Each structure stands twice: as C-alpha cells, then as structure tokens.
Amino acid sequence: MKIKTVLLLLPLLALSACNKVETKATEFKYWNECDSLSALKEYVEDVTNSSSENFIPKEKRIATFDMDGTFYGELFCEYHGQAYLEYRMLEYRALEDETYTAPDSVKEAGQAIKDFIENGTALPSGFDMIHARAAATAYADMSLKEFDEYCKNYLSKPAWGFENMTYGEAFYQPMLEVFDYLEENDFTYYVVTGSDRFICRSLVCDALGIAPNRVIGMDVELKAKNQGDTAPLSYLYDAKNDDIIRTDNLLIKNLKMNKVKQIAQEIGIQPVLSFGNSGGDASMHNYALSNPDYRSAAFMLIADDNVRDYATPEKAIKLGEEWKEDGYHVISMKDDFKTIYKTDARKLH
C-alpha cells in the first residue's frame, strides 16, 4: 500500500513542479541604458561564472553600501547641502520636540542645522563630530525599543521638499534594484554608513528587509537600564527588570578610515564591491579595490539632477570626473536613472 501511495503522488508532485513560478531576474526598469549599469552587469556576470578565471565563491561575494546619498536621499535642504535624515531628526529633537528639554550643546547643534537649512548659513567646522556628540546626548537614556519607535514616528513625517513622500520612503528606486540583483547572484550586502546605526536599522530593516546585523554605523555605548556606574564586567543583567538603553558616550563616527576598520571588525571578509557617493566613502572603496584575491569594483553616485532632486550639478560633475580618474565607476542620477524616488513623489521647490 505504501508503494502504491507513493506512485499515486508522483504525478501530483510533477504537476506541482511544472506549475511553480520561476523567480524573475531583476529587470532594472528604473534605469536607462548606461555605462555604469553595463559595468555592474559585466562584473557580476564575470565573477559569478564558474568557468571564469575571476570566479568568486558565494561566501566571498561581499558588497558594502553607504546609505545617505547612495541609496537614500540626503539633500533635504533648499541650499543643496547634506541635510541628512539624522540632521533633520536632531533639529526636530532639539528645537521642536515638546517632550524633551535639550541642553545647550544639543540646542546649538539643532540651531546650526536649522540656520543651514533655512538660510544657507555654513555649518561650523567639524560639524560631523559636533552633531555626533549632540545626537549621543539627545537620545541618551532611551531604550532601544523606545528609540526605534521615536525614529519610526519621525520617518512617517513628510520628507522636506517633496509631495507624496515621507522620510521613510525616500529611497532611490534604481539602487534598490541593485540590492535585488546582487541578492539574486548570491552576494551579501551590508549598509556601512556614517549615520547612527539604530536610526538606519529603523529605516531599512523593516522597509527593505535588511537584517539588523548587516547595518554598520555610528555607535554610542549601550548599557543595562539599572546598571548605573557599575562596570559591565561587574554587572549581572536582570532578566525581569532590565532593558538595554543608549548612553551619551559616543564610541565611533563611522566615516572615512573608520568605515574600513568597522568592515574588518564586523564583517571579517574584505569586500569585492563598494557603493558610495562622497569622499567619506573613498577609503571603503579603496579597501574593496585592494582585495588581493578577487576582482573588485567600486561605484560612486553623483547628485547631478536638480530637476527631480535637490543638487548642485556643476560640483557633482566635477567630482564624477575626479572619481573616474581614481578608478571608480560613476553613476549619474540625471543620465542613468529613469526615476529617482517612488513614482508619485514630486519635488516642490
């Protein structure tokens, strides 16, 4: 009877297999035909071809992506400067959040961002670190769950300068297709950003399905809620009464060489692909390009489209020429992208 049952099931299994829908390869419907996309496809096809001398095993196919200005908007400012999501969020926290009384250092950083956004006033020298320390202070004592909820509440706000788009939706659609393409070809990609790691997790993990352990960013020290001043090696986490909270102790601003350091520490495999949009990503690119074992490539995206986004094309084009000389492939938002944001988003200014 068992044999007969199996024989009866075989035709059904075969029918089920025939009816299975094959997963479609990425169509790149948001891209124009262009050199940058051709270069990416040629690279991926070469290194995933088992007959190629450049074949890369699946476990070594590591790609790193900067976030702001690489696959997510960063020019949320009339003066076309880098008004990153985390800058806008700190401005809100410092100057508008009625539930929070900001200390002077946080207010000053928030006001500097506001003045830059509204009047074009130059940000103070070294503002990357000024902002990082102010942000560490501004969100101190929040549990990770509370901070995630705070971030997601802010992400639901309308993105500055756009209609029909929230901050949580401000992804570059063509670059999301690159994620899909790499995943289909057995690459593992990581987000390696100068922005706060936990802001980035709130933004990308649910929306894009990126695992939290594949997000590397700016970090503050974490501790147990009831730990106080007790050293970590002397404190026992209380399963019933504790929680993990943020502190005001900034550990690392994940830019430039720090990106290379964090990739080496957290991933442990030298990347073969790197995507970015600024000089802060050059060290990360060069680390990938110096891979001694496998063919590698690096891509820089330039914000040269001031019709569909906020940009300074002349500056972007000049940077693009310099980056080509450095051996990077250059992606032009203006020429290479059929669309930038979600199709119903509209630039207002």
Would residue 300 count as lying in a domain? Answer: yes
Do 67 and 129 touch, CB atoms closer than 8 A? no
Number of domains in the chain: 1
Would residue 199 count as lying in a domain? Answer: yes
Tokens representing 300 are 């820089």
Give per-residue pLDDT as tens, 219-235: 999 999 999 999 999 99
Give per-residue pLDDT as tens, 129-159: 999 999 999 999 999 999 999 999 999 999 9
Share of the chain above pLDDT 90, in %: 91
**Mean pLDDT value across residues 327-338:** 98
Would residue 23 count as lying in a domain? Answer: no
CA angle 80, 86, 90 (to 5 degrees): 105
- The amino acid at residue 236 is L
Residues spanned by the domain of 319: 35-347
pLDDT mean across residues, the chain: 93
Do 258 and 252 touch, CB atoms closer than 8 A? yes
**Residue 173's CATH number:** 3.40.50
What are φ and ψ of residue 279, in 5° steps? -60, -25
Would residue 27 count as lying in a domain? Answer: no
Report the predicted TM-score, pTM, of the whole model to 2 decimal places.
Answer: 0.91
Q: Which among 70, 84, 63, 66 is positioned nearest to 192, based on CA atoms? A: 66
Would residue 1 count as lying in a domain? Answer: no
Which runs of E-coded beta strand occur in the chain? 62-65, 162-163, 188-196, 215-224, 244-252, 273-276, 297-302, 329-332, 346-347
Do 303 and 55 touch, CB atoms closer than 8 A? no
At residue 4, does pLDDT exceed 50? Answer: no
